[in-house]
Each structure stands twice: as structure tokens, then as C-alpha cells.
A and B are shown apart, each in its own frame.
Chain A
Amino acid sequence: DAGVIQSPRHEVTEMGQEVTLRCKPISGHDYLFWYRQTMMRGLELLIYFNNNVPIDDSGMPEDRFSAKMPNASFSTLKIQPSEPRDSAVYFCASSLERVGTGGADTQYFGPGTRLTVL
């Protein structure tokens, strides 16, 4: 299995530009998560999907952030317009639903996208 795939691996953009981050989860996984990592705040959950449906987006910092999952094998995180404080590493993770009790189990992380907004 190729694992979780994220693209691009690095993105440098100027303030005000639109940024789109992409994620391909592990095939067959029911859950997809987007996290952000910064030195100041550590790892934070932004949003997650179950069977392509957004379940909890309470971690999305503002309306400038949006995420979609049009099908089971693809998700995007969009920032429009981007600001310097959005600079961070953005991780996508996926997991299976735990048999029996349900809910997400072990999460498998992609390599991340390092975003720099100038």
C-alpha cells in the first residue's frame, strides 16, 4: 500500500493567493482527517470526514479555510485568501472504522505539505 499521499510537499505563495492542498487516503479507509502543525500551537485537528461527509469542522480557524471530499479517494483543503499566519505543515491522515464499537481507529499520516505564505 502506498500510504496516505499528499501534494504538493512544499508550497510557497504570497499573501492573498489561493492555496489548495490535496490528499489521497489509504484505499478502503472510512475516515479522513486534516491537521495543522506549528511550533506555537503544535498539532491541531482542523476537520475530519467519515464516508466522505464532514463530521466536525470546529477546528477550522476561519472562513478562509474550506475542505471537501468529493469521493472516497480524494480530499482538498483550500485557503483563500492565504495569510502569513497560515504558514505551517498540513497533514492528512486516514483510518478505518473500528469493527464492533465503531469510530476511527489508528490514524495513518501522510508526509505533510509545508506551506509558507510570504
Chain B
Amino acid sequence: SQQGEEDPQALSIQEGENATMNCSYKTSINNLQWYRQNSGRGLVHLILIRSNEREKHSGRLRVTLDTSKKSSSLLITASRAADTASYFCATRERGGADGLTFGKGTHLIIQP
């Protein structure tokens, strides 16, 4: 079953602008992870945020987590054409199995 639901489903912005994607989930989680998938390729891990963390940074990425609202956001600053990809949030449930539950993803297009 789908746990994470990304919003929006598709996003098109100009190069240099910031891109924000949101993810909502339904159950208590151990951690939430964001992945990137380029067309026809595998998934690349971007960042992991644990349930006791509220914000995390990695380079041009900023992730927030609000466990009270069961939501997370991924901000990509100063976007580049190479950031064009699909972005997925994935959750690992608290007390549950170790597998991840993925959302349907946000397809991000960066216009040069």
C-alpha cells in the first residue's frame, strides 16, 4: 500500500529557482528518506531524516519533517538542469518491517 504521497505530482520551474516537494504519510515512522530517479535509471538516495529530527541539510537539499502533521518537504535550492528527475519519499514504519513504503513521486522538470 502507498504510504507516502508526494505533492505536486509534477513540477516545472526555471533553472536557478528553488523547487519544493511535499510528502504526506499515514503511520508513525522510524525515518523518512528521499530518493531521486532519473528516467530509466535506478534510485539514488538523497537524504534520510529520523523521526526525532526536524530539519536536515545536505548541499543544496533541505528536508523538513513534521511528525505531528505526518508530512515532510524537500527543498532543492538553485536548481540545475541536471536536477530534472522524479523524486520519491519513502518511509520506514516505527516498529514495523525494515522495508520502505514509497509514494508515487514528483516529476521535476528544470527548464534551462
A binds B: yes
By a beta-carbon cutoff of 8 Å, the part of chain A in contact with chain B is 31, 33, 35, 42-45, 48, 50, 55-56, 59, 91, 93, 95, 103-112
Q: For residue A103, which residue of chain B has the nearest CB?
A: B98
B98 close to A42 (CB less than 8 A) = no
Contacts of B59 in A (CB 8 A): none
Q: B102: CB under 8 A from chain A?
A: yes
Total number of A-B contacts with CB less than 8 angstroms? 57
Known: A105-B48, A106-B33. A55 touches B98 (CB 8 A): yes
A109 close to B98 (CB less than 8 A) = no
Secondary structure of the B contact surface, majority rule: strand
Bitwise, B69-85 to A at CB < 8 A (1) or not (0) is 00000000000000000
Most chain B CB within a 10 A radius of its CB, from A33, A42, A44: A42
Known: A91-B42, A109-B42. A45 touches B2 (CB 8 A): no
Bitwise, B94-112 to A at CB < 8 A (1) or not (0) is 0001111111110000000
